[in-house]
Amino acid sequence: MSQQRWALDIGAIPVSRDETKFRVWAPFVNSVAVRMMKGDRPKLSLHPNGKGYFEAVAKAVGPEEKYLFVLDETRERPDPASRFQPEGVHGPSVVVDPGIFQWTDRAWPGMRLRDMIIYEMHVGTFTREGTFEAIIPWLSYLKDTVGITALELMPIAQFPGRRNWGYDGVYPFAPQASYGGPEGLKRLVDACHAAGMAVILDVVYNHLGPEGNYFGEYGPYFTDRYKTPWGSAINYDGPDSDEVRHYFVSNALYWVTEYHIDCLRLDAVHGIYDFSAHHILKEIASAVRVQAEQLHRHIVIIAESDLNDTQIIDPRSQGGYGLDAQWNDDFHHALRVALTHEQNGYYQDFHGLKHLATAVREGFIYQGQHSLFRRRRHGNSSQHCLPSQFVVFSENHDQIGNRAIGDRLSTQLSIDVLKVARALVLLLPNIPLLFMGEEYGETAPFQYFIEHGDPELIDAVRQGRQREFAHFGWNADEIPDPQDPFTLERCRLRLNELDTWQTQLLHWTNALIRLRKTVPTLASGDVETLRHSIWAFEQEQVIVVHRWSNSDGGSLLILGFNRTPVTLVPTAPAGAWQLLLDAGTAEFGGVHPSTMPQEIVITSSGSPLNVPSYAAAVYARR
């Protein structure tokens, strides 16, 4: 494909106002025709064009026309590269002209990774309406009241029914119809850019959902050489895999080109199996880089990975795949254990503030040592990586929704503890992420929900959830029914119903983000110009973080995980430090005007510091 003037070359491709080219890869069939759903027009036969492709140009067919492919004159199926599925995963596809929408963001340059403060959102539960356009009136809240710079949408590719997390998506090119389809998504992206916010899209390239999945009738999209926890593995390295790779590389380019998406978050790349000489992740990253240059925009790629393998984010010049960043689950697990002292499941591998300090200092905690939970060695060294190559969080959709009842930290911890966790996430040199509602301590759960039509599949999902939670020792009877419509309803945010303590927590979140944006040494960092040190006082249960640059004495974070007041001798550079922000003030829900001194003086001989319980304070060096 030409990267200089890239355009999608599969599916229904508008040629003119009343002509559409249909092109589909279908090596498993002998013939393909297209049937238009409007009127009583004869089927149009597509002719073979090499490598298993069939294509033809249809006269008097324009945008908004519905169609189905007819395989071997007997089976009517949706288009694998459908741009829109208004009647669901089993219904007809729709011709969409990508040039019709009037964008207003021509001058939008994209956003650099280091400037991203990410807000992860599920479109269906963020508002009552559950649509793309219903989010738009809330953008000023996200930008101004919270301070968010990048909106991350959980997967929006067409899935079965109206209720789903999105990871059961079946048509990767078709924005979910019940969310508002292509028009609604473009309006949201355009509005985000007008507000100065980037848009991150969560895409799933490790599997396709089972219901409505007719891809196996077209060609060898899947392989039985590998297994994933979610279904058949994508055929990225077997016979006839070149066109499968082309399909998914095209999908990445499609989102950043036709929808002006600023960043792709690649879901669970540990479920992508490719032993070819040129890994599909490297191919996707290379193609997107070239397209970003042609579009004159910053475009970022972030991975979710369970491997603790820096090859994903290492530069191609060093044998890596060249992605920009990855989620750091080790940080989350260590922080949650420090906050809640859980030790079930994978939390058994994480212990105390020492591990949390390692995650802050080095990235991964497990860098090749033995994991008790995995019963083997895990990970490789991340000490050479930049802090800004890791996305950190205290919660996300997985770490809430994959608990038995989908309970958030805000239902388990006091506001004082939540403020400590928030300060750590938002003021580290990593890229911070908040899950929707976390900014004010939403108490509604985030649970797993579906709307499948196949009774056997519904039952399989129910049983799978129970098996998944067995190793945590959770009660199977407490697990909500994913198919029950009320499971989604109880997950909707209550943005208009904030209690006093939630308003105070929201103010704290915004104050931290303002500091991150205005104090240079609190921004995203690298090891060359912006440095950091961390000390974990395990006996006192306090963490001290020093962040500085060559030209700035920097900032000092004092974060208490201590239930009672303690005294410690800070291991930090000597000098006078002036208070910038204190979680203990009344504005943020504290019971006193201030719980930390306005100034602390650290001497080379050691200066004792009294730290109240669950303190969270930021100091600047005078």
Condensed to tens digits (0 to 9), the pLDDT of residues 156-186 reads: 999 999 999 999 999 999 999 999 999 999 9
Across 137-165, average pLDDT: 98
- Sign of the torsion angle spanned by Cα atoms 610, 615, 621, 622: negative
Task: Compute the C-alpha angle 291/309/535, nearest 5°.
Answer: 110
Distance between CA atoms of residues 141 and 125, nearest Å = 17
pLDDT for residue 573: 87
Annotated catalytic sites, by residue? 267, 304
Which range has the worst mean pLDDT, 71-75, 385-389, 569-573? 569-573
pLDDT for residue 5: 82
Across 511-535, average pLDDT: 92
Of how many residues is the chain composed?
Answer: 622
Across 7-20, average pLDDT: 96
pLDDT for residue 444: 97
Instruction: Examine the pLDDT at 3 and tell me if it is beyond 50.
Output: no
Query: Residue 371 burial (CB < 10 Å; 0-12/13-18/19+)?
Result: middle
Predicted TM-score of the model (pTM)? 0.97
Which range has the worst mean pLDDT, 238-242, 474-478, 510-514, 596-600? 474-478
Condensed to tens digits (0 to 9), the pLDDT of residues 291-331 reads: 999 999 999 999 999 999 999 999 999 999 999 999 999 99
Neighbours of 564 (CB within 10 A): 10
Instruction: Give the percent of the chain with pLDDT over 90.
Output: 89
* Band (594; pLDDT cuts 50, 70, 90): low
pLDDT for residue 2: 37
Torsion of CA 349, 354, 355, 360, to 10 degrees: 170
Q: Pick the residue with more confidence: 590 or 111?
A: 111
pLDDT for residue 471: 67
Which range has the worst mean pLDDT, 549-553, 586-590, 596-600? 549-553
Instruction: Examine the pLDDT at 89 and tell me if it is beyond 90.
Output: yes
Q: Pick the residue with more confidence: 591 or 529?
A: 529
Across 237-265, average pLDDT: 98
Instruction: Examine the pLDDT at 204 and tell me if it is beyond 90.
Output: yes
Across 352-368, average pLDDT: 96
Tokens of 117: 């403060």
Condensed to tens digits (0 to 9), the pLDDT of residues 577-588 reads: 999 999 999 999
Instruction: Examine the pLDDT at 560 and tell me if it is beyond 50.
Output: yes
pLDDT for residue 352: 86
Instruction: Examine the pLDDT at 359 and tell me if it is beyond 90.
Output: yes
Domains, the chain, with CATH or none: 11-94 (2.60.40.10), 527-621 (2.60.40.1180)
* E-assigned strand segments in 229-357: 231-234, 263-266, 300-303, 325-327
Across 346-372, average pLDDT: 96
pLDDT for residue 527: 73
Q: Pick the residue with more confidence: 104 or 475?
A: 104
pLDDT for residue 190: 98
Across 481-498, average pLDDT: 95
pLDDT for residue 229: 87
pLDDT for residue 465: 82
pLDDT for residue 477: 77
- Give φ, ψ of 220 to 5 degrees: -80, 65
Instruction: Examine the pLDDT at 549 and tell me if it is beyond 50.
Output: yes
State in Å, rounded, how far the first CA of the chain is from the last one.
57
